Structure 1
């Protein structure tokens, strides 16, 4: 169990704010110690981390509370919590990108994140919007600066959810990253977030990691598996080299690949297209000791 002071330290949310969330939105209902102090369990800590991530990403507290209440099947306070946000469409996202207004982008991203479980939002909204951004840039609808502005906003929003997700310390770890030369990491970060939300300890390496650094990370970590994103034809040779190197690591490491070009490399287990399914498959394999 955790005291309110410990929860504040673990979530980055002030004690006073935690009490407001509890009183106004009923996102959690901590028990009381014999001395009258609030005590929170792991599940409640996870709920508060989820809400903190949504608020950090720009979701109004009332909407964030409604979203976490729906996810945890806990009744929300009827007078204070509004309905879960309707998911914004692609035109709203592109318009926010074109505006170069941080508040407009935060509003769109906040409504998207509050519209359902992260896994669903990632598969059905974030990744399609990433494609939409690329199309808007190619057609001249968005400039490079506008496209980068929106992409950076998406990265920050997803990173906030990743940071808020609890992981099982000391459990089997999974390395997640891209090969040297590949810098398109948003989809990979979404996958890593889905995996972390299942309690897996994710060692997120990010983009453009040389093969030697991958091997070093594998040898120095407790990783039981590695997930490599395969998204660019130009990096296929180095990706194959990376997979071969990871398969030679001792102790043995299970190597998985995801992305549009996952079938273009050999020697690794392919992951499904949908992020939620991919995270579920790897999580089951870890839990069953099949790696």
Structure 2
């Protein structure tokens, strides 16, 4: 059973902690538990109910009316709402509920609806990536387990693979060639898959090599494929060397026009730290801008 603080509930629901305390005192909407050391916390059931309450509240329901409903009826009202159009925050809240509950049917239903409503790129930009950003807090506070992460990432991964597979293979053999891979020890693949989709959609010849690729194999593949560009993602700290040392070795051993990099950990490096042939893409928009230059 996860333990959430009120600040974590604020982050996940979008409802200010001050407002949550008022709802708790005035309407008994939340019922915090206490640890053996008398620290207040909330559990998965509280989070799920609050996300449903937040959805109804954002749709114009009065909090005094919502508070009179048991959690099961709140959930029923949410189901009625989801038959109509939902906004970004509502989609994200529903994905969080499905992940916490390990409810594959709900996660699949919401994710499919997001993609049908917004298109694949719109779904990734406005729902999937903000969802991943929100649940990053749960990782930091150990409120989700590897099972939760694998559950949701595999379902998102399946959608990305379907979207990539639906794109035609590039027919122009003179099109620019790019290799997409993750460095040795790196396993978080979703950003790499989305990059693959964008490159393929722009007509690039792509070679997707996936996770945990040793440097020597990057070099061999680049020579054989005659790659002009490399695209990779750094999500966590490297074990054997720093990111800068890795990129310097990559630059020395692989002859390409440009090495495109992205990933959360790169924000901690100072500007100008990477080799000159390296292009740091801070956001998804930056990759789009690079592709249309």
TM-score range, shorter chain: 0.5 to 0.7
- Structure scoring higher RCO (CA < 8 A, sep ≥ 6) equals 1
**From 244, 263, 273, the counterpart of 2:282:** 273
Question: Secondary structure of the residue that 1:194 maps to in structure 2?
Answer: helix
Name the counterpart of 1:148. 150
Moved more, 116-125 or 240-249: 240-249
Answering whether residue 122 of structure 2 is matched by residue 120 of structure 1, we say: yes
Alignment map for 1:220-231 (pairs within 5 Å): 220-231=224-235
**Paired residues for 1:244-259 under 5 Å:** 244-249=248-253, 251-259=255-263
Report the alpha carbon displacement of residue 221 of structure 1 after superposing the two structures with TM: 0.5
What is the deviation of 1:210? Answer: 0.9
Correspondence 1:95 to 2:104: no
What's the offset of the Cα at 1:249?
A: 4.5
- The equivalences for 1:11-160 within 5 A come to 87=88, 88-139=90-141, 141-160=143-162
Q: Cα deviation per residue 1:158-182 (whole Å; 9 max; x = unaligned)? A: 1211221224232221011221111
Distance 1:139 1:238, change over 3 A: closer
Distance change >3 Å, CA 125–CA 245, structure 1 → 2: same
TM (normalized to structure 1)?
A: 0.61
Supply the distance in 2 between the matched residues of 1:167 and 1:280 (Cα, whole angstroms): 22
8 Å Cα contact 2:261-2:281 kept in structure 1? no
The Cα offsets for residues 67-112 of structure 1, whole Å up to 9 and x where unpaired, read as xxxxxxxxxxxxxxx9987554322001111333322111011012
Question: What corresponds to 2:56 in structure 1?
Answer: none
Query: Match of 2:191?
Result: 187
**Residue 272 of structure 1, CA deviation:** 3.2
* Whole-angstrom distance in 1 between the partners of 2:139 and 2:236: 18
Equivalent position of 2:203 in the other structure: 199
| Paired position in structure 1 for 2:218 | 214
Distance 1:84 1:250 in 2: 49
User: 1:191, 1:279 within 8 Å by CA — same for their partners in 2?
Assistant: no
Q: Which has the larger radius of gyration?
A: 2
Q: Distance in 2 between matches of 1:238 and 1:282?
A: 28
- Aligned-partner SS, 2:188: coil
TM-score between the two structures when normalised by the length of structure 2: 0.60
Unmatched 5+ stretches in structure 2: 1-82
Contact preservation (8 Å) 1:247, 1:253: no
Quick one: distance in 2 between partners of 1:142 and 1:118? Answer: 26
The alpha carbon displacement at 1:208 in A equals: 1.3
Change (3 A) 1:124 1:141: same
Q: Any idea what SS the aligned residue of 1:181 has?
A: coil
Match of 1:54 in 2: none
- C-alpha deviation, 1:255, in angstroms: 1.5
Show structure 1 runs of 5+ residues with no match. Answer: 1-81, 285-291
Residues 247 and 254 in structure 1, CA contact (< 8 A), matched pair in contact too = no
Cα deviation, residue 241, structure 1: 4.2
Tell me by how many angstroms 1:137 deviates: 4.3
Is the contact between residue 211 and residue 241 of structure 1 (CA under 8 Å) also seen in structure 2? no
Distance in 1 between residues matched to 2:238 and 2:232, nearest whole Å: 15
The aligned runs of 1:275-290 (5 Å cut-off) are: 275-284=284-293
